């Protein structure tokens, strides 16, 4: 909200379970179309029909998509949803995606590693099965994630690959720690198959990030 009200120098401190805290500019959550990565541009081109933007935050992606698509933003944060509405997002749901039981969407979109909200690998198959229940007959899930093998090799960590813990801090106020998941292509493929999805890798970059499209079989 401070950023929305004109303070361009807002930074969050992001504590993590693998190294030193990092500074995250609030501007990251207010990006416009010209600020998106090639991977994100590709993801938007893949969106079809009615779209559910999962983990929409303050609506950066939804604002772009609603120019050409019927898009609904959903986020667990009531404050983020309020800001999204103030910014002009037309359809906003405040709540947990796991509590979402209604609607049949043609595209379920999860960008900025939105799949991370699963938290742990063991919850991945069940989460994907729930997403499947929200899809139309010819629907799709479009998501991105990263392979963190390089990080774990550097840290010599024994933790389950891709399972990270984070904590946000702003003006000396700290949120509770939360789990976040980065999933490599092979692991996602195995769990997608178990949940009844085919998987196609639609885009990769040189930063170990990839874009995947899941379609039910």
CA 165, CA 11: separation in Å to the nearest integer?
A: 19
On whether residue 75 sits in a domain, the answer given is: yes
* Closest to 138 (Cα-Cα) out of 104, 109, 110: 104
- Flag whether pLDDT at 212 surpasses 90: yes
| Res 61: pLDDT | 98
On whether residue 108 sits in a domain, the answer given is: yes
On whether residue 3 sits in a domain, the answer given is: no
On whether residue 24 sits in a domain, the answer given is: no
On whether residue 28 sits in a domain, the answer given is: no
Tokens of 208: 């170990």
| Res 160: pLDDT | 56
On whether residue 155 sits in a domain, the answer given is: yes
Domain count, the chain: 1
* Closest to 211 (Cα-Cα) out of 83, 45, 99: 45
| Res 132: pLDDT | 97
On whether residue 20 sits in a domain, the answer given is: no
Q: For residue 127, give its domain range.
A: 37-167+176-216
pLDDT tens digits for 16-69? Answer: 998 999 999 999 999 999 999 999 999 999 999 999 999 999 999 999 999 999
Instruction: Please state the rounded mean pLDDT for residues 138-153.
Output: 85
On average, the pLDDT of the chain sits at 94
Out of 105-119, 143-157, 201-215, least confident range? 143-157
On whether residue 195 sits in a domain, the answer given is: yes
Instruction: Please state the rounded mean pLDDT for residues 127-144.
Output: 97
| Res 154: pLDDT | 54
Percent over 70 (pLDDT), the chain:
95
CA 192, CA 182: separation in Å to the nearest integer?
A: 15
| Res 177: pLDDT | 98
| Res 157: pLDDT | 46
pLDDT bracket for residue 153 (50, 70, 90): low
DSSP 126-165: HHHHHHHHTEEEEEEEEEEEE--HHHHHHHT--SPTTEEE
- Flag whether pLDDT at 151 surpasses 70: no
pLDDT tens digits for 60-105? Answer: 999 999 999 999 999 999 999 999 999 999 999 999 999 999 789 9
Instruction: Please state the rounded mean pLDDT for residues 129-147.
Output: 96
**Domain CATH number, residue 208:** 3.40.50.150
Using DSSP bridges, classify how beta strands 173-174 and 22-25 pair: parallel, antiparallel or unpaired.
unpaired
The pTM (predicted TM-score) of the whole model is: 0.94
Higher pLDDT, 152 or 193: 193
């Amino acid at each position: 909200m401070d950023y929305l009200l004109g303070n361009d120098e807002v930074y969050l401190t992001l504590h993590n379970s693998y190294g030193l805290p990092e500074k995250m500019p609030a501007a990251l959550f207010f990006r416009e179309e010209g600020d998106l990565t090639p991977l994100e541009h590709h993801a938007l081109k893949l969106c079809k029909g009615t779209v559910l933007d999962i983990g929409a935050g303050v609506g950066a992606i939804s604002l772009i998509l609603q120019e050409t698509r019927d898009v609904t933003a959903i986020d667990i944060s009531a404050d983020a949803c309020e800001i999204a509405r103030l910014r002009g997002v037309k359809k906003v749901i405040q709540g947990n995606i796991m509590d979402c039981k209604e609607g049949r969407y043609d595209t379920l979109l999860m960008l900025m590693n939105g799949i991370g909200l699963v938290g742990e690998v063991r919850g991945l198959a069940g989460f994907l099965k729930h997403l499947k229940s929200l899809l139309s007959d010819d629907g799709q899930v479009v998501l991105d994630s990263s392979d963190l093998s390089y990080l774990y090799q550097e840290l010599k960590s024994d933790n389950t690959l891709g399972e990270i813990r984070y904590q946000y801090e702003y003006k000396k106020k700290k949120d509770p720690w939360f789990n976040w998941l980065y999933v490599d292509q092979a692991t996602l493929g195995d769990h997608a198959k178990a949940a009844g999805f085919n998987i196609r890798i639609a885009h990769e970059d040189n930063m170990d990030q990839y874009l995947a499209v899941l379609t039910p079989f």
